[in-house]
Amino acid sequence: MRTPPVNTSPAPTLTRPTPTRGAQLTQLDALESEAIHIIREVVAEFERPVLLFSGGKDSVVVLHLAAKAFWPGKVPFPLLHVDTGHNFPEVLAFRDETVARLGLRLKVARVQDYIDDGRLAERADGTRNPLQTLPLLDAIAAGRHDAVFGGARRDEDKARAKERILSLRDEFGQWDPRNQRPELWNLYNGRHTVGQHVRAFPISNWTELNVWRYIEREGIALPPLYYAHEREVYRRDGMWRAVGAVSAPLAGETVTTRTVRYRTVGDMSCTGAVDSDAASVAAVVREIAVSTITERGATRADDRISEAAMEDRKKDGYF
């Protein structure tokens, strides 16, 4: 009988004790392990996964988790960004640096292309977030992606609170909240038929504060506008809006320079800044821990449209 060859894999150099309190993991370790388990399941069971990557903190955290899940190998799937054409330039720069540093592939689907050739029309309110759905679905179909990772969290919105970790979508990308697969134990069912795909949300169970504590613990880099900086802003809908090419003040809106930061980073036309002097991760964690307003309530004009704004967008194929 042949003797099996000895495995000569080298040991990594770092050593650390298992971070447990008694027999139980700390909350960040438990959430991290759950997310990595989900990411590995999707990669094992699907042919062509892709990660939606905007450069926003949640997608940055999912990418960081993916890198840990497959260490010492590379992240084994490409990234996809739906560019509204109204993105913050510093976020796009961060996105491109990150992709280059990790040696990954990035595909960009541009809302502007769709507006230019008439497949989409600019909305009267100028908000482009709802316009992302069509380019997203086209990019998923063109890339024949059967699984799409996203950084959505259940604590963000009442409709998202009902979302599964693996969420089955039909060829129209539609979410049917009344007919979702039951999700049992940690056994994820990724079976789907031709034309269907699955949205996978590894950080479903994380809160905004969990995300920031994790960014602090892991030393994860973020676009600079998440931290306090001086910016020319004006007041609209109870939020500070940045002065920019696509977000100019109207007559009667006064521009001032304030120290602000962004709690969410999305389309410039509908994302607001908050007054903050939190210039470091630790300061942001302290700020979030005592915040009395939700991140979407504070910073997203599009979610203020109606109580069911997110539910309606999700049913149409949005995240």
Within residues 2-41, the interface with other proteins by CB under 8 A covers 4-18, 20-34, 36-37, 40-41
219 binds other proteins (CB under 8 A): no
Choose which of 117, 193, 237, 251 interacts with other proteins (CB under 8 A): 193
> Is residue 72 reached through a cis peptide bond, with omega within 30 degrees of 0 on the bond before it?
yes
Q: Which is nearer to other proteins, 243 or 285 (CB)?
A: 285
83 binds other proteins (CB under 8 A): no
Q: Which is nearer to other proteins, 110 or 192 (CB)?
A: 192
What length does the chain have? 319
Strands 49-52 and 147-149: parallel
Q: Which is nearer to other proteins, 24 or 254 (CB)?
A: 24
239 and 215 in contact (C-beta within 8 Å)? Answer: no
Both tokens of residue 226? 């998440």
Minimal distance, residue 32 CB to other proteins, in Å? 8
75 and 104 in contact (C-beta within 8 Å)? Answer: yes
305 binds other proteins (CB under 8 A): no
75 binds other proteins (CB under 8 A): yes
Interface size with other proteins, residues (CB under 8 A): 88
Minimal distance, residue 125 CB to other proteins, in Å? 20
Minimal distance, residue 76 CB to other proteins, in Å? 8
Distances in Å between the alpha carbon of 122 and those of 112, 149, 246, 302?
9, 27, 12, 15
Q: Which is nearer to other proteins, 13 or 254 (CB)?
A: 13
1 binds other proteins (CB under 8 A): no
254 binds other proteins (CB under 8 A): no
94 and 222 in contact (C-beta within 8 Å)? Answer: yes
Q: Phi, psi at residue 128, to the nearest 5°?
A: -105, -5
Residue 31: CB atoms within 10 A of its CB come to 22
Torsion angle of the four alpha carbons 79, 80, 85, 86, in this order, in degrees rounded to the nearest 10: -70
79-83: strand order across its sheet: 106-110, 79-83, 49-52, 147-149, 197-200, 166-169
251 binds other proteins (CB under 8 A): no
Over the window 197 to 216, marking each residue x when it contacts other proteins by CB under 8 A and - when it does not, the resulting string is -------xx-x-xx--x---
Choose which of 1, 121, 124, 184 interacts with other proteins (CB under 8 A): 184
Which span (92-100, 116-124, 130-138, 284-292) binds other proteins, by CB under 8 A?
284-292
